[in-house]
């Protein structure tokens, strides 16, 4: 994968994330930093709903929104709540490799068959459902989507520091994404 920076020691941090909750997230998850106690969330984490990912973070450290592909387009009220009421000033967008939202159209028949067999839908309703929502949730490439989503959110929330990150499933590690 391109643009990935591993976080194996504190000197690996991208400068803008130095001494922030984003760096703490990487230390907790990748380096098994001993947990501090938190009485309020320090960060909002937007991550994919994929069941293969589990973060190693302390209780009360983060608000967490899980959506397909870490796509937060339809979660802005929740983001705004975490910022306005929760006071968070940092967002980590954590996508992962081998995401099911990539090339979603290739999964059309399996999706439709799954709704028919597992949920009791009829074929026409399942097809309409897929065709209505798949274009909203499909991502072309995990890394490029995370960079684009971070840029979009920075425009919406200009005072918030937003970090696109990639979770490599086979390593159980989070990588920083170097943006151009």
Q: What is the pLDDT of residues 73-129, one digit of tens each?
A: 989 999 999 999 999 999 999 999 988 899 999 999 999 999 999 999 999 999 999
Tokens 């059309």 locate to 108
Query: To the nearest whole number, what is the mean pLDDT of the chain?
Result: 95
Tokens 């390593």 locate to 171
Is the predicted pLDDT of residue 1 greater than 60, yes or no? no
Three-state DSSP class for 171? coil
In the chain, the DSSP E strands lie at 4-5, 43-48, 62-67, 90-96, 161-168, 173-177
Cβ distance 22 to 57 under 8 Å?
Answer: no
Q: Which domains does the chain have, with CATH numbers?
A: 4-101+141-177 (3.40.1050.10), 103-138 (no CATH)
Q: How far is CA 152 from CA 4, 45, 163, in A?
A: 20, 16, 12
Backbone angles phi, psi at 158, to 5 degrees: -65, -20
pTM above 0.75, yes or no: yes
pLDDT at position 2 is: 64
């Amino acid at each position: 994968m391109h643009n990935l920076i591993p976080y194996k020691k504190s000197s690996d941090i991208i400068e803008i994330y130095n001494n922030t909750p984003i760096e703490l997230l990487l230390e907790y998850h990748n380096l098994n930093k001993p947990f501090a106690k938190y009485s309020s969330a320090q960060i909002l984490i937007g991550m994919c709903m994929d069941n293969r990912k589990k973060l190693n973070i302390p209780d009360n450290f983060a608000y967490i929104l899980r959506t397909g592909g870490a796509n937060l387009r339809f979660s802005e009220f929740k983001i705004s709540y975490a910022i306005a009421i929760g006071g968070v000033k940092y967002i980590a967008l954590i996508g992962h490799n081998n995401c099911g939202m990539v090339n979603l159209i290739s999964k059309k028949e399996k999706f439709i068959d799954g709704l028919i067999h597992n949920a009791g839908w009829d074929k026409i309703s399942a097809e309409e459902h897929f065709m209505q929502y798949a274009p909203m949730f499909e991502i072309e490439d995990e890394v490029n989507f995370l960079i684009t989503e971070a840029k979009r959110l920075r425009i919406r929330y200009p005072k918030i520091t937003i970090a696109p990150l990639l979770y490599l499933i086979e390593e159980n590690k989070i990588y920083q994404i170097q943006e151009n």
